């Protein structure tokens, strides 16, 4: 999903799309566009060698374009490779392609996890358990409400990701599109292209974005990085929502608690008796890392192109996508195999001998009488109907109903594997090796 090979392919896809768009717009001959497209589609590179040569330009596009021009070979065609673009155009567009493809996979995994959580919330709408605040038993609740809370967090994260409008990047040397407008002047009698040349170039940007399946920006965004910051924030929020599920499962699966268990074996190298919550640990680990990486995305850069700030985004963005993608896929597996033990939940809720409903007793007995009762060891004494934790669930079941209704209203049905992949013109199934 974010490997070096995937990033290389995204840069080549950007170059190929640029050639196709320029061919469609009449900026370069159609035959040249077709040749560049074919060569870029088939091109492979020695990644370590490319990385080594990239040091001389502080980005990989310069040596990649040189290799692509050499690979095109045909006389007079190589000059059309990368025409009117700058390195950041290709790097930023490749980043948006990788992000859009990764986000599609993440959304699919969130959809799968949410379907399972909705079922858990419905089945356990009235399943009694102890709510816990600051790590201690608080008042009764239901496991259905806990699962519905997980569902709501994932739904908000999913909607935020799905709402992202990731743009292509095409601005030329300093974001003015001047080189492309100059090229367009051949079709205009006005020096420098005039209004006709400017309109043709703006149309070219739209065609370029269309070829890639990305959004056409109103203007180049070389130094205006809010889109990258928003992407990072959405990924961090998603990781956090996934981490909430994992953290609760870790605590509920503790030996002394035993309210849920994972499907994973959870092996230990030293203690054969242990069943560690391995899937939850992987998810929580990712959730703790993503916000730190996201802080490095979208920093303010100087003038029309940053010296260092833009380049500093590459690795953190990759990690945000990789970790969030892995957490989402693992969460889908986690909830699909989650074992729930309602009897243990009920037993735990009754551990304190009625103290779990102290809040209720305070209303009926008065605080002074309750404080005196709590000071005595052993179970609380009082009317049986007041001590039953199932009688003090508040609106928990009804809140489950409300959250499920909201989920079903907002849910967009989707095939878990079938995704529309940016950069392609048809619907296809994402190959398993794309997740690597």
Query: pLDDT tens for residues 36-67?
Result: 999 999 999 999 999 999 999 999 999 999 99
Q: What is the dihedral of CA 433, 49, 318, 323, to 10 degrees?
A: 50
pLDDT of residue 86: 96
Which residue shows structure tokens 């209704």? 405
CA–CA gap between residue 69 and residue 303 (Å, rounded): 30
% of the chain with per-residue pLDDT over 70: 91
Burial 80-99 (b: 16+ CB within 10 A, else e): bbbbbbbbbbbbbbbbbbbb
Coil, strand or helix at 137: strand
The DSSP result for 202-252, as a single string, is: HHHHHHHHHHHTSBPPSS--SS--HHHHHHHHHHHHHHHHHHHHHHHHHHH
pLDDT of amino acid 29: 94
DSSP 379: S
Quote the CA–CA distance of 434 and 436 in Å, as a whole number. Answer: 5
Burial class (CB in 10 A: 0-12, 13-18, 19+), 381: exposed
Instruction: For residue 384, report the phi and psi dihedrals to the nearest 5 degrees.
Output: -60, -40
H-helix or E-strand spanning residue 407: helix 396-410
Euclidean distance between CA atoms 134 and 394, whole angstroms: 20
Strands 339-340, 418-419: pairing kind: unpaired
Listed in sequence order, the residues at least 6 apart from 198 whose beta carbon sits closer than 8 Å to its beta carbon are 177, 181, 184
Question: pLDDT digits over 248-292, tens only?
Answer: 999 999 999 999 999 987 666 767 777 789 999 999 999 999 999
DSSP letters along 312-353, please?
Answer: GGHHHHHHHHHHHHHHHHHHHHHHHT-EE-HHHHHHHHTTTT
Report the mean per-residue pLDDT for the chain: 89
Contact status, residue 173 vs residue 179, Cβ threshold 8 Å: yes
* Residue 413 banded pLDDT, cuts 50, 70, 90: low
Q: How confident is the model at residue 390 (pLDDT cuts 50, 70, 90)?
A: very high
Element (H, E) at 276: none
Strand partners, 133: 136
Closest alpha carbon to 265 in 253, 252, 278, 254: 278
pTM, whole model, 2 decimals?
0.90
Q: Is the pLDDT of residue 163 over 90?
A: yes
pLDDT in tens, 312-333: 999 999 999 999 999 999 999 9
Instruction: Give catalytic residues, as residue numbers.
Output: 268, 305
For the stretch 252-261, pLDDT in tens is 999 999 999 9
Q: Distance between the two ends of the chain, CA-based, in angstroms? A: 5
Q: Please give the domain boundaries of the chain with CATH numbers for all domains.
A: 86-171+221-351+395-436 (1.20.200.10), 352-394 (no CATH)
Confidence of residue 412 (pLDDT cuts 50, 70, 90): low
SS (H, E, C) 286-300: HHHHHHHHHCCCCCC
Of the given ranges (100-104, 136-140, 357-361), which has the lowest mean pLDDT?
357-361
Give the whole-angstrom CA distance, residue 424 versus residue 397: 45
Phi, psi of 248, rounded to the nearest 5 degrees: -65, -40
């Amino acid at each position: 999903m974010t490997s070096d090979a995937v990033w290389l392919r995204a840069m080549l896809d950007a170059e190929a799309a640029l050639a196709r768009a320029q061919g469609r717009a009449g900026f370069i001959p159609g035959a040249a566009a077709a040749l560049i497209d074919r060569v870029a589609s088939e091109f492979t590179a020695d990644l370590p060698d490319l990385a080594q040569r990239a040091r001389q330009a502080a980005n990989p596009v310069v040596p990649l374009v040189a290799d692509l021009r050499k690979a095109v070979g045909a006389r007079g065609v190589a000059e059309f490779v990368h025409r009117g673009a700058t390195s950041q155009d290709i790097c930023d567009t490749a980043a948006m392609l990788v992000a859009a493809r990764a986000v599609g996979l993440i959304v699919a995994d969130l959809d799968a996890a949410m379907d399972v959580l909705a079922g858990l919330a419905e089945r356990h709408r009235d399943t009694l358990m102890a709510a816990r605040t600051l790590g201690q038993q608080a008042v009764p609740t239901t496991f259905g409400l806990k699962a519905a809370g997980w569902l709501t967090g994932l739904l908000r994260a999913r909607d935020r990701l799905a709402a992202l409008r990731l743009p292509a990047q095409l601005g030329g040397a300093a974001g003015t599109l001047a080189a492309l407008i100059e090229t367009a002047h051949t079709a205009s009698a006005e020096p420098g292209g005039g209004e006709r040349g400017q309109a043709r170039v703006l149309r070219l940007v739209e065609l370029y974005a269309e070829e890639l399946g990305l959004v056409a920006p109103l203007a180049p965004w070389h130094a205006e990085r809010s889109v990258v910051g928003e992407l990072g924030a959405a990924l961090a929020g998603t990781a956090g929502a996934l981490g909430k599920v994992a953290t609760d499962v870790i605590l509920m699966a503790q030996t002394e608690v035993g309210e849920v268990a994972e499907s994973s074996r959870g092996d230990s190298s030293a203690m054969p008796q242990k069943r560690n919550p391995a899937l939850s640990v992987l998810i929580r680990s990712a959730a703790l890392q993503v916000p730190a990486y996201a802080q490095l995305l979208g920093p303010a850069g100087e003038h029309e192109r940053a010296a260092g700030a833009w380049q500093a985004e590459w690795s953190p963005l990759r990690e945000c996508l990789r970790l969030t993608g892995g957490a989402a896929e693992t969460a889908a597996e986690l909830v699909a195999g989650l074992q729930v033990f309602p009897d243990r939940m009920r037993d735990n809720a009754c551990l304190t001998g009625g103290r779990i409903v102290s809040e209720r007793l305070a209303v009926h007995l008065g605080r002074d009488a309750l404080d005196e009762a709590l000071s005595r060891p052993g179970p609380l004494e009082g009317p049986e109907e007041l001590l039953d934790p199932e009688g003090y669930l508040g609106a928990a079941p009804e809140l489950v109903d409300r959250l499920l209704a909201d989920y079903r209203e907002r849910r967009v049905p989707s095939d878990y594997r079938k995704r529309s992949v940016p950069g392609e013109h048809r619907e296809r199934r994402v190959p398993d090796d794309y997740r690597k």
